Amino acid sequence: MIIDKTVFPIGPRNLSFLRYNNLTTVEDAEVISFNFNTFIYETSDKEIEEFIQLNKIIYIDNTYEVLETPVLEKLNRLSKIDSIYCYYIPAKDTDLKLLSKLKKRGLKCFPKQYFIDYAKFYTPHYRKRRDGVRVPMPKKSYNCLTGKVNPTRTFLIALLSKYKLLQYGYVSYFGENHTEYNQSNNNINDFNNAAYLSSRAKKIIRKELKQIKLPIVADANLFGDTLSHTKDFNAELYDAVDFVVVPETYGCTNNDNFFPTEKTIKCILMNKKFIVVGNQYFLKNLKKYYDTYHQYDISHLTDWCDTSYDALPTLEERIIQVVNIVKDNIRIKK
């Protein structure tokens, strides 16, 4: 989304889908734009009130996350909010009663699926030799770029390891100690406390983690913002494979928000077949959204395999079925 007003941004902007044409000083800015984390945790109510008293327009940049209750609670504490604009991804668990109250007080709301609606902000990048010729990566069956550690992704990697499938893909799983300092560093053993994984699944994870040498890397040895959220991405990892395994952000049974991210969007941009480790009916909702709001049928990228995994009731079942699809479609050299 292109913003033509003069803006003074506060907080990191690398994940944002707001683009500012006219950056200026805080004194001269029409708009003070806050990263939503900065708005909630790093800026006092008094500071916000002072900007409002100076007749500044306030933007809350929540374009890359669902709208969470702390944002609404902070807004509710402010005496005047009719000059505040909130850009966010909608969620089922948003406090709709409080949101409605804030709208009546003048809050301007812009809910969108920003990752989808502004997918054009992502740019495929290819490496080139000094003579300008592209250097393609060797062909493999699939890629699976996991990002941050969580129990879902740990189980996925453990199953791929169990069935000797890691060698057929460009896979990344960094573990705990191979992340940039500013990344949340979840504990690899968190799977032990994941109620949605069975004792059998946890047993598989424990066994496979003893055999896996970390980090597992596809094209980088360290995980961080420059790898996961840059708008330029390594297109070779998509061109070099037949399909992509997408471990989506909300790939767990305890969150049923529809929240597609760059993990899925890059596959669609690259016209690459994919399977998703997501929450129940993620694929159904994704296809419906593209059809309804973009008049684009993506079924050629999703229905190349049995998509019944999308309706399975538990995360564990969905991951097992996804890995079964990988097993059935690997490229084996003879």
Residues 128-177 pLDDT 10s: 777 878 888 899 999 999 988 899 999 999 999 999 999 999 999 987 76
Q: What distance in Å separates the CA atoms of residue 332 and residue 334, rounded to the nearest whole number? A: 6
Task: Please give the Cα distance from 31 to 22 (Å, whole number).
Answer: 10
Find the mean pLDDT for residues 266-281.
Answer: 96
Residue 247 in tokens: 């471990």
Q: State mean pLDDT over 47-52.
A: 97
Element (H, E) at 62: strand 57-66
Angstrom distance (rounded) from CA 319 to CA 326: 11
Q: What's the order of all strands across the beta sheet hosting 243-247?
A: 169-172, 142-145, 243-247, 273-277
- For strand 108-111 and strand 84-89, is the pairing parallel, antiparallel, or unpaired? parallel
Q: How confident is the model at residue 38 (pLDDT cuts 50, 70, 90)?
A: very high
pTM: 0.91
Tokens 């949101």 locate to 99
Alpha helices in 119-194 (DSSP H): 151-162
CB proximity list for 212: less than 8 A, separation 6 or greater: 157, 158, 161, 173
